[in-house]
Amino acid sequence: MEKQKWLWPSAIGAAALIVIIVAVMALRGGGEAMAAADAEDKLKQMYGGEVREIVQDGDVYRVTLERIDGVFEAVVDSDDGAIISLEKTKSVDPIPEADMKEKITEQYGSEPSSIVFKDHVYNATIEDETSLTEAEYDAVTGEQIKEKVTEKESSETPPDKEEPLKPSVRLTSKEAASIVLKEFPGELDDVEFEESSDGGYYLVQVETPDDREVEVQIHAISGDILTWIWDD
Look at residue 153 in the predicted model and tell me its pLDDT: 79
- Give strand pairing partners of 209: none
- How high is the pLDDT of residue 134? 92
Q: Which long-range contacts (CB under 8 A, 24 or more apart) does 97-106 make?
A: 97/122, 100/124, 100/137, 100/139, 100/142, 103/137, 103/142, 104/135, 104/137
CATH for the stretch 36-90:
3.10.450
| Identical fold, 36-90 and 97-152+166-231 | yes
Q: What pLDDT does residue 219 have?
A: 92
User: What integer pLDDT is reported at residue 28 of this predicted model?
Assistant: 42
CB-based contacts of 204, cutoff 8 Å, min separation 6: 176, 177, 180, 188, 190, 191, 215, 216, 217, 218
The third-level CATH classification (topology) of the domain covering 97-152+166-231 is Nuclear Transport Factor 2; Chain: A, (3.10.450)
pLDDT at 133: 92
- Alpha helices in the chain, H assignment, sequence order: 2-29, 36-47, 97-108, 173-183
What integer pLDDT is reported at residue 161 of this predicted model?
A: 58
Q: What is the pLDDT along the chain (232 residues), one digit of tens a residue?
A: 455 555 555 555 555 555 555 444 444 444 566 888 888 888 888 887 788 899 988 889 999 988 777 788 999 998 888 888 888 887 777 889 999 999 999 988 888 989 998 878 899 999 988 889 999 998 887 889 889 989 887 666 555 556 555 545 788 899 999 999 999 999 999 999 998 888 889 999 999 888 889 999 999 988 899 999 888 6
Please state whether the predicted TM-score (pTM) of the whole model is above 0.85.
no
The residues spanned by each domain of the chain are 36-90, 97-152+166-231
Q: What is the pLDDT of residue 166?
A: 53
Phi, psi (deg, nearest 5) at residue 104: -65, -40
Backbone angles phi, psi at 22, to 5 degrees: -60, -40
